Amino acid sequence: MDHLNAPIAGVGAVVWKKNKVLLARRGHPPKAGSWSLPGGKQKLGESVQEATLREIDEEAGIRIRIVDIAAVVDLMDRDDQGQVLYHYTVVDLVAEWVAGDIRAGDDAAEVAWVHPDDFDSFGLSDDVRRVIALAASKRLPQDLEDEP
């Protein structure tokens, strides 16, 4: 299946550790160098949950617990003639950190735990901010108990 004839299925996660969110700086196109949510392509035969657990481990080296679905987002870019350069349909999940110290891996150039008050300095897109806000509303009460 040619990626120019059909969207590519992807996964991402809004991973919380207390009151901070895991962000990843993209190491490869599209949008190399920009900060976003960690994630990547879903593999054939892999569930959305399995793909998310794998991608977070590969990009950040941590274990997570999936809580819910945050949002489904279509990421598209077109050239000057309107032709689609890429189209990803991404299922973003809400997750909580379980174990491990973050370290950049796979196609993440950097990873960081970031408090929402500091998002401006990371240049997050409106879509990423919207997904994080949706994820925040779906956190479980027990996951908020240790919040300052």
Residue 23 has φ and ψ, to the nearest 5°, of -120, 150
Q: What is the mean pLDDT of residues 101-128?
A: 93
Average pLDDT over residues 101-105: 94
Give domain status of residue 145, yes or no: no
In the structure, what pLDDT confidence band is assigned to residue 29 with cuts at 50, 70 and 90?
A: confident
Q: What is the pLDDT of residue 2?
A: 47
- Please report the pLDDT score of residue 141 as a whole number: 76
Please report whether residue 117 resides in a domain.
yes
In a domain, 114, yes or no: yes
Residue 127, domain extent: 8-138
pTM of the complete model: 0.89
**For residue 148, pLDDT beyond 70:** no
- Please indicate whether residue 96 is annotated as part of the active site: no
- CATH number at 77 reads 3.90.79.10
Residue 147 included in any domain: no
User: pLDDT exceeding 90 applies to what percent of the chain?
Assistant: 76
Query: Is residue 33 one of the residues assigned to a domain?
Result: yes
User: In this prediction, what percent of the chain has a pLDDT beyond 70?
Assistant: 93
Residue 148 lies in a domain: no
Single out the catalytic residue among 55, 59, 110, 145: 110
Give the chain's domain count: 1
- Please list, in sequence order, all residues whose beta carbon lies within 8 angstroms of the beta carbon of residue 60, skipping any fewer than 6 positions away: 15, 22, 24, 38, 100, 102, 103, 104, 105, 108, 111
pLDDT above 80 (res 124): yes
